[in-house]
Amino acid sequence: MNEQEQRNIIKILFDTGITNCMELSRRTGVPKSTVYRTAYKLRNAESVDRKIGSGKERQIKANNARSLVSLAINNPRLSVRKLTCKFNKRRGLSFSHEAVRIEMKRYGFTRKVARKIPMLTQTYKAHRVDWAKSNRCRDWEKVIFSDEMSIWLAGGRACVWCKGDSKPVKPSTKHSPKLHVWQRFQHVERFLSRFSEKISPGDFTATFCTNV
């Protein structure tokens, strides 16, 4: 809720007879300083609408802002500081990173962590669904599960520029340097093992059979 919307809500309540500033602040959740300023204008029959041309002048003009947005869209992983440096170097300017952040926010852009998605083809997805359907009636108490967690040594979290409520994604490769933590578990017991490198099928089978 921006300040103009806050003023409008205060005006509606004020017109209904609620003129106490503390009460207005409690009901609306608007800071008391804003309530006092708005109530003062209303008591003096002044308009609470924002005056045209009031407020601090924009540091980044429209033509530079469009160039900034285009740069962020083409380089979504750049941080605010890196985006500022690249923008200033390209345009020969000297804006602060805070001015760039405010301008990006004005255009609806924020920084979010890109959600990783596996690179699955439609064939892989169909196989997974078929497997789930074929095992719906299985007695899982007689099944030993084997699972692993990988600590990725490269390609960690990445914040990217995105607009509005969009949910960015980050394509990830299937194989990259990582540390494996493997676990075998059943409904009554568990076994944990760690590997610093990729384990071969033979070593996996030997470790599995030794600890069953």
Q: Is 186 contained in some domain?
A: yes
Say yes or no: 36 and 69 in one domain: no
Predicted pLDDT at 161: 80
Domain that holds residue 25: 3-43
**pTM score:** 0.42
Predicted pLDDT at 133: 93
Say yes or no: 32 and 66 in one domain: no
Q: Is 165 contained in some domain?
A: no
Say yes or no: 67 and 25 in one domain: no
Q: Is 196 contained in some domain?
A: yes
pLDDT < 70 regions, the chain: 1, 52-56, 152-157, 172-178, 187-212
**b/e burial code for range 151-185 (CB count within 10 A of at least 16 → b):** eeeeeeeebbbbeeeeebebeeeeeeebeeebebe
What's the domain count of the chain?
3
Predicted pLDDT at 156: 63
Predicted pLDDT at 87: 92
Q: Is 181 contained in some domain?
A: yes
Q: Is 113 contained in some domain?
A: no
Q: Is 13 contained in some domain?
A: yes
Predicted pLDDT at 74: 92
Predicted pLDDT at 175: 66
Q: Give the residue among 191, 194, 115 at the shortest CA–CA distance from 157.
A: 115
Q: Is 120 contained in some domain?
A: no
